[in-house]
């Protein structure tokens, strides 16, 4: 028996009744519902207002039922309905962001994965403490503009989609920088971005062993980011700034990628260290997480961010990826979560995968 994340009382009804897989209708919900249905689960879509019409176009991913509420932040009022339906909530970026990480963490409804991780992910200071404590290479942090010794990126706290980011070629470019709120200055790592989709199973006893379970690599993507990805076509930064055009990193979509095979040992090592440290810090991370990093020309992998739940980049792979195909056929991240819930029910270990 591994770490118990959920109380016995929370999971008891789910042993007797088949659970309903529920999530907020956005982000990666199509894939979550599709994967749950493949494993025979009933699905419930939580919608703010009327359910989005696009589900009508995707019969294999349409939830069996909807819970329409006026606004997502009112979800705590609907807890008894969710529990009556034996719901297991699946967190994703928009669900946690729009409800708020604290409100999400406080819901008295079973959640897939360890909800304690949300506090570590949503706070950039705690995230750095975790990742650096794991021995993972991150972009350097500069305390002052004077410390900068190369290209740098200034990130305001809570900047959505990198909209408040400032890019600087060197410290001289930041001489006139007058902050308008709390911020961090980081080394701007020059290289190629990769978003690595891992799944950690505390139940598995085979495969790539980490801690009490094992680590699976199910896919990789790169995010399309407007307007930075195409900005180079317009020429030099100074001229752009003079023209009033500031770079932004608003995610508009995702593309599948694979990594040089010789880099796989490095990314598995990073994934394993992050999981091992999470076990020491807060009882472990369970299920999907995404390591977001940049590979330099020296083939060094710098991690600038971690997402501790399913990421939208997995939507590229509803029926397998270059990596998931080598684990099992037809395996999406959504389906993988449903499989973990089934295994946990069979082995009477739901408390280790739910919180
Ligand atoms: P974040 O909000 O930290 O996920 O960053 C948004 C985007 O900014 C990333 O997807 C990258 O394109 C870029 N970015 C963030 N930090 C760095 C960094 N230290 N070096 C280079 N690019 C970065």
CATH number at residue 177: 3.30.1490.20
189 lines ligand 1 (CB under 6 A): yes
pLDDT digits (tens, 9 = 90+) for 65-92: 999 999 999 999 999 999 999 999 999 9
Asked whether residue 264 is domain-assigned, the answer is yes
Q: Decide: 286 and 308 in contact? Cβ < 8 Å.
A: no
Asked whether residue 236 is domain-assigned, the answer is no
Asked whether residue 241 is domain-assigned, the answer is no
Say whether both 90 and 208 belong to one domain.
yes
Asked whether residue 234 is domain-assigned, the answer is no
Say whether both 50 and 171 belong to one domain.
no
Asked whether residue 66 is domain-assigned, the answer is yes
> For atom 6 of ligand 1, which residue has the closest CA?
162
Say whether both 44 and 119 belong to one domain.
yes
> For atom 16 of ligand 1, which residue has the closest CA?
304
What is the DSSP-derived secondary structure letter of residue 51?
Answer: P
Give the CA angle between residues 261, 263, 269 to the nearest 5°.
Answer: 120
Say whether both 15 and 113 belong to one domain.
yes
- Residue 161's pLDDT is what? 63
Asked whether residue 33 is domain-assigned, the answer is yes
154 lines ligand 1 (CB under 6 A): no
pLDDT digits (tens, 9 = 90+) for 304-342: 999 999 999 999 999 999 999 999 999 999 999 999 999
Say whether both 70 and 214 belong to one domain.
yes
Q: How far is the CA of 194 from the centre of ligand 1 (A)?
A: 11
Domain that holds residue 42: 8-134+191-224+254-352
> For atom 9 of ligand 1, which residue has the closest CA?
249
Asked whether residue 249 is domain-assigned, the answer is no
Q: Which of 169, 304, 305, 306 to mutate to test the pocket of ligand 1 (most atoms within 8 A of CB)?
A: 304
153 lines ligand 1 (CB under 6 A): yes
Other Cβ atoms closer than 10 A to 252: 11
43 lines ligand 1 (CB under 6 A): no
Cα–Cα distances in Å, from 99 out to 23, 65, 221?
Answer: 12, 21, 26
Beta-bridged to residue 350, according to DSSP, are: none
Query: CATH number, domain at 54?
Result: 3.30.470.20
Q: How far is the CA of 162 from the centre of ligand 1 (A)?
A: 7
> For atom 5 of ligand 1, which residue has the closest CA?
162
Say whether both 39 and 51 belong to one domain.
yes
Say whether both 57 and 155 belong to one domain.
no
Alpha-helix runs per DSSP H in the chain? 8-16, 29-38, 79-84, 93-99, 101-106, 117-121, 124-133, 228-231, 237-242, 264-282, 333-346
Structural domain count of the chain = 2
Say whether both 207 and 61 belong to one domain.
yes
- Residue 31's pLDDT is what? 97
Say whether both 185 and 277 belong to one domain.
no
Q: How far is the CA of 304 from the centre of ligand 1 (A)?
A: 6
Strands 65-69 and 42-48: parallel
Decide: pTM greater than 0.75.
yes
Say whether both 214 and 148 belong to one domain.
no
Mean pLDDT, consecutive 10-residue segments, the chain of 355 residues?
87 95 98 98 98 97 98 97 98 95 95 95 91 98 95 83 81 90 93 97 97 98 90 73 82 96 98 98 97 97 96 98 98 98 97 97
pLDDT digits (tens, 9 = 90+) for 164-195: 788 898 999 899 899 888 899 999 999 999 99
Say whether both 208 and 325 belong to one domain.
yes
Atom of ligand 1 nearest to the CA of 187: 19
Say whether both 283 and 314 belong to one domain.
yes
- The DSSP result for 305-347, as a single string, is EEE-SB-GGGGG-BTB-TTGGGTSTT--HHHHHHHHHHHHHHT
Asked whether residue 3 is domain-assigned, the answer is no
């Amino acid at each position: 028996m591994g770490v118990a994340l959920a109380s016995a009382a929370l999971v008891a009804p789910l042993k007797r009744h088949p659970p309903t897989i529920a999530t907020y209708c956005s982000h990666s919900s199509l894939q979550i519902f599709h994967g749950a249905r493949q494993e025979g689960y009933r699905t419930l879509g939580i919608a703010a207002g009327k359910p989005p019409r696009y589900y009508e176009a995707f019969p294999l991913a349409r939830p069996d039922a909807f819970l329409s509420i006026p606004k997502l932040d009112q979800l705590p009022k609907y807890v008894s309905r969710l529990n009556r339906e034996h719901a297991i909530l699946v967190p994703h970026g928009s669900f946690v962001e729009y409800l708020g990480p604290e409100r999400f963490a406080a819901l008295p409804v079973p959640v897939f994965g360890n909800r304690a991780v949300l506090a570590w992910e949503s706070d950039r200071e705690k995230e750095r403490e975790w990742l650096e404590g794991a021995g993972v290479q991150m972009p350097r942090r500069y305390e002052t503009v004077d410390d900068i010794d190369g290209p740098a990126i200034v990130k305001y706290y809570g900047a959505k989609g990198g909209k408040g980011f400032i890019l600087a070629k060197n410290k001289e470019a930041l001489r006139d920088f007058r902050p308008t709120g709390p911020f961090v200055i980081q080394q701007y790592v020059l290289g190629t971005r990769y978003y690595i989709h891992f799944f950690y199973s505390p139940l598995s006893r085979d495969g790539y062993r980490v801690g009490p379970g094992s680590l699976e690599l199910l896919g990789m993507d790169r995010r399309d980011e407007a307007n930075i990805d195409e900005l180079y076509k317009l020429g030099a930064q100074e001229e752009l700034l003079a023209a009033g055009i500031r770079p932004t990193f608003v995610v508009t979509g995702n593309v599948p990628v694979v990594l040089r095979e010789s880099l796989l040992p490095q990314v598995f090592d990073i994934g394993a260290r992050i999981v091992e440290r999470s076990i020491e810090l807060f009882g472990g991370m369970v299920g999907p997480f995404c390591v977001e990093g940049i590979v330099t020309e020296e083939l060094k992998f710098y991690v600038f961010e971690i997402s501790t739940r399913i990421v939208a980049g997995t939507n590229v792979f509803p029926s397998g990826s270059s990596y998931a195909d080598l684990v099992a056929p037809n395996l999406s991240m959504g389906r993988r979560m449903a499989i973990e819930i089934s295994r946990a029910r069979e082995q009477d270990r739901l408390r280790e995968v739910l919180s």
